[in-house]
């Protein structure tokens, strides 16, 4: 009688197996009890009949409490009604540990209560499905970039400088020096691209943003590819291919999870490269037509603007060529129109907002020095970055995809707080 896991039961059809599991839920009627079991790899229904198992064991089964852990033995049979396609006819079970008064019951709980119990909430069906989608997006990310010949490079987390603006930095001491938690590995990835051509990173980033919205985390994970010899248009092609690959992989490998999340699949099926592109200029015009009279050229878009623009397309849309003044110091001005940058944000459909920010980088030393001055960037912290423009500078581009916003969109989850195992929010550092 072999030990297996729920995700592998299809390999044991008709066999008797043992699974280590927890009681997720249960109900009984007359001589039959139904145990909803979870083992971390999935959920399965176990059926116990009094006639098969005997009265004493049957009464014990009826008394099993939520989250009690046990070894369950039984035969795997087909069950076309369940999302998994299988159930277990239980022949025996042994309790490992009895759980008393598990705080998260099948009834509704408030968000704050659930967030306070995040360490337990992760066991629930919806949270489990979201984390599995997250895991699949990470897996598909490595697959995509490895297949395309990218080298994974890990930029530092403790840094001496800011990449995306000094107001959102987490400050700490590095012995006698000042240090900051990384907001983006980009500047280091540019150095890496000059050494390895095509590179990508995947790591945590920190933004001390006082934003309390459904799209903002204080600590979030970013995937940052950087490509030597690629211009702005080349980079957009990589982005749309990458995002299409993510959507396709999740559709293929997370069927049970997408069903548990009640995700509308038709909108996911539409995510296929190429994606539409609209310039910032045209986006402003579009917003005026849609009744956003207040927005003026030169202003950044807020969440309602992004949502309104995205509504005009049924795929993710690139907004390109933003005014240089509202973007980061490293972005290359468009040679044909130096007041706009060779950059794009990728806006997800269905109101999920910006999931990617990217650009072609300035490769000219003098221009970069001039941008330093304009942005008051002084000190040794940035000297190494200038040297990248001094020794064989080449056109290069890159982008950053926010993992949690992408998970929220693909999984169809309203708030990014449910897309990371232990969210760090403006008012939350627990658990
Ligand atoms: O647009 P951002 O700030 O771009 C950069 O950091 C560039 N250095 C990336 C690069 O070119 N290598 O951030 C990139 C993405 C955003 O599009 C968004 O998806 C996500 O990171 N993001 C956040 N996600 C959750 N919470 C926050 N506070 C976020 N800030 C940005
Ligand atoms: Mg951005």
Question: Which tokens is 351 given?
Answer: 């109101």
| Cα distance between residue 227 and residue 200, in whole Å | 9
Residue 45 φ/ψ, nearest 5 degrees: -90, 135
Determine contact, residues 40/25, Cβ cutoff 8 Å. no
Closest ligand (CA of 207): 1
pLDDT at 1 over 70: no
The answer, yes or no, to whether any atom of ligand 1 lies below 6 A from the CB of 358, is: yes
Query: pLDDT band at residue 251, thresholds of 50, 70 and 90?
Result: very high
The answer, yes or no, to whether any atom of ligand 1 lies below 6 A from the CB of 136, is: no
Q: Which of 220, 396, 419 to mutate to test the pocket of ligand 1 (most atoms within 8 A of CB)?
A: 220
pLDDT in the model for residue 85: 95
Fold type of domain 118-418: BirA Bifunctional Protein; domain 2 (3.30.930)
Percent of the chain with pLDDT over 70: 100
Closest ligand (CA of 322): 2
CB-based burial, 99-122: b 16+ in 10 Å, e otherwise: eeeeeeeeeebeeeebbbbbeebe
Phi-psi category of residue 51: left, alpha or beta, with phi > 0 → left and psi -120 to 50 → alpha: alpha
| pLDDT one-digit tens code per residue, 3-50 | 999 999 999 999 999 999 999 999 999 999 999 999 999 999 999 999
Ranges in the chain annotated CATH 2.40.50.140: 2-97
Question: Which tokens is 270 given?
Answer: 């539409």
Peptide bond into 202 cis (omega under 30): no
- From ligand 2's centre to the CA of 334, what distance in Å? 18
| pLDDT one-digit tens code per residue, 142-164 | 999 999 999 999 999 999 988 88
Percent of the chain with pLDDT over 90: 95
Residue nearest to atom 29 of ligand 1 (CA): 216
CB-based burial, 1-14: b 16+ in 10 Å, e otherwise: eeebebeebeebee
| pLDDT one-digit tens code per residue, 324-349 | 999 999 999 999 999 999 999 999 99
Burial label for 430, CB within 10 Å (0-12, 13-18, 19+), is: exposed
Ranges in the chain annotated CATH 3.30.930.10: 118-418
Residue nearest to atom 4 of ligand 1 (CA): 357
Burial label for 347, CB within 10 Å (0-12, 13-18, 19+), is: buried
What is the average per-residue pLDDT within 398-406?
A: 98
Q: Which of 164, 145, 165, 155 is nearest to 225 (CA)?
A: 145
pLDDT at 379 over 80: no
The answer, yes or no, to whether any atom of ligand 1 lies below 6 A from the CB of 190, is: no
- From ligand 2's centre to the CA of 35, what distance in Å? 47
The answer, yes or no, to whether any atom of ligand 1 lies below 6 A from the CB of 399, is: yes
pLDDT in the model for residue 174: 97
| Cα distance between residue 6 and residue 3, in whole Å | 10
Alpha-helical segments (H) within 86-196:
111-116, 118-121, 125-147, 186-196
Looking from the CA of residue 189, the nearest atom of ligand 1 is: 12
The answer, yes or no, to whether any atom of ligand 1 lies below 6 A from the CB of 371, is: no
| pLDDT one-digit tens code per residue, 161-215 | 888 877 899 999 999 999 999 999 999 999 999 999 999 999 999 999 999 999 9
- From ligand 2's centre to the CA of 358, what distance in Å? 8
Full-model pTM: 0.97
Determine contact, residues 271/316, Cβ cutoff 8 Å. yes
Question: Which tokens is 106 given?
Answer: 């099948």
pLDDT at 248 over 90: yes
Query: Which residues on adjacent β-strands are paired with residue 220?
Result: 205
DSSP state of 17: E
DSSP state of 331: B
- From ligand 1's centre to the CA of 329, what distance in Å? 15
> How confident is the prediction for the chain on average, in pLDDT?
96
pLDDT at 81 over 80: yes
Q: Which of 168, 170, 181, 184 to mutate to test the pocket of ligand 1 (most atoms within 8 A of CB)?
A: 184
Closest ligand (CA of 316): 1
Looking from the CA of residue 222, the nearest atom of ligand 1 is: 21
What is the average per-residue pLDDT within 275-285?
A: 98
- From ligand 1's centre to the CA of 268, what distance in Å? 22
Q: Which of 170, 222, 167 is nearest to 200 (CA)?
A: 222
DSSP state of 148: T
Q: Tell me which long-range contacts 279-286 makes (C-beta under 8 A, separation of at least 24).
A: 279/319, 279/320, 279/321, 280/319, 280/320, 280/321, 280/322, 280/323, 280/340, 281/321, 281/340, 283/309, 283/319, 286/312
Three-class SS of residue 430?
Answer: coil
Looking from the CA of residue 354, the nearest atom of ligand 1 is: 17
Count CB-CB contacts under 10 A for residue 176. Answer: 5
Looking from the CA of residue 399, the nearest atom of ligand 1 is: 11
| Cα distance between residue 342 and residue 349, in whole Å | 23
| Cα distance between residue 82 and residue 206, in whole Å | 41
Fold type of domain 2-97: OB fold (Dihydrolipoamide Acetyltransferase, E2P) (2.40.50)
């Amino acid at each position: 009688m072999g030990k297996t896991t729920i995700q592998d039961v299809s390999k044991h059809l008709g066999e008797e197996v043992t699974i280590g599991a927890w009681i997720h839920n249960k109900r009984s009627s007359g001589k039959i009890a139904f145990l909803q079991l979870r083992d971390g790899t999935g959920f399965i229904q176990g059926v116990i009949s009094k006639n098969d198992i005997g009265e004493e064991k049957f009464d014990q089964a009826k008394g099993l409490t939520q989250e009690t852990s046990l070894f369950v033995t039984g035969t795997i049979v087909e069950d076309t009604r369940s999302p998994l396609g299988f159930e277990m006819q239980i022949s025996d079970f042994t309790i490992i540990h009895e759980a008393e008064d598990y705080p998260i019951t099948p009834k509704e709980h408030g968000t704050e209560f659930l967030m306070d119990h995040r360490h337990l909430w992760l066991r629930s069906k919806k949270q489990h499905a979201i984390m599995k989608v997250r895991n699949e997006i990470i897996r598909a990310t490595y697959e995509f970039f490895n297949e395309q010949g990218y080298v994974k490079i890990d930029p530092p987390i403790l840094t001496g400088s800011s990449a995306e603006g000094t107001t959102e930095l987490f400050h700490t001491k590095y012995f006698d020096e000042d240090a900051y938690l990384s907001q983006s590995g980009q500047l280091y990835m540019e150095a890496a691209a000059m050494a390895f051509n095509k590179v990508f990173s995947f790591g945590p980033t920190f933004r001390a943003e006082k934003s309390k919205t459904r799209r903002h985390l204080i600590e979030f994970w970013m995937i940052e590819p950087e490509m030597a010899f690629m211009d702005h248009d080349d980079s957009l092609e990589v982005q749309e291919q990458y995002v299409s690959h993510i959507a396709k992989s999740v559709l293929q490998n997370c069927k049970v999870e997408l069903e548990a999340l009640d995700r509308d699949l038709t909108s996911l099926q539409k995510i296929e490269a190429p994606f539409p592109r609209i310039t910032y200029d045209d986006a402003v015009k579009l917003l005026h037509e849609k009744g956003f009279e207040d927005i003026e050229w030169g202003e950044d878009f807020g969440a309602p603007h992004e949502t309104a623009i995205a509504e005009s397309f049924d795929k993710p849309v690139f907004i390109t060529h933003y005014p240089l003044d509202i973007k980061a110091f490293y972005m290359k001005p468009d040679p044909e129109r130096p007041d706009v940058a060779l950059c794009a944000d990728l806006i997800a459909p269905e109101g999920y907002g910006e999931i990617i920010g990217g650009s072609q980088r300035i490769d000219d030393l003098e221009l970069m020095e001039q941008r330093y001055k304009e942005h008051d960037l002084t000190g040794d912290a940035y000297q190494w970055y200038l040297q990248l423009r001094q020794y064989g500078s080449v056109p290069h581009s890159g982008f950053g995809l926010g993992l949690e916003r992408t998970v929220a969109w693909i999984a169809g989850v309203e708030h990014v707080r449910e897309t990371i195992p232990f969210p760090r929010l403006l008012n939350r550092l627990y658990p």
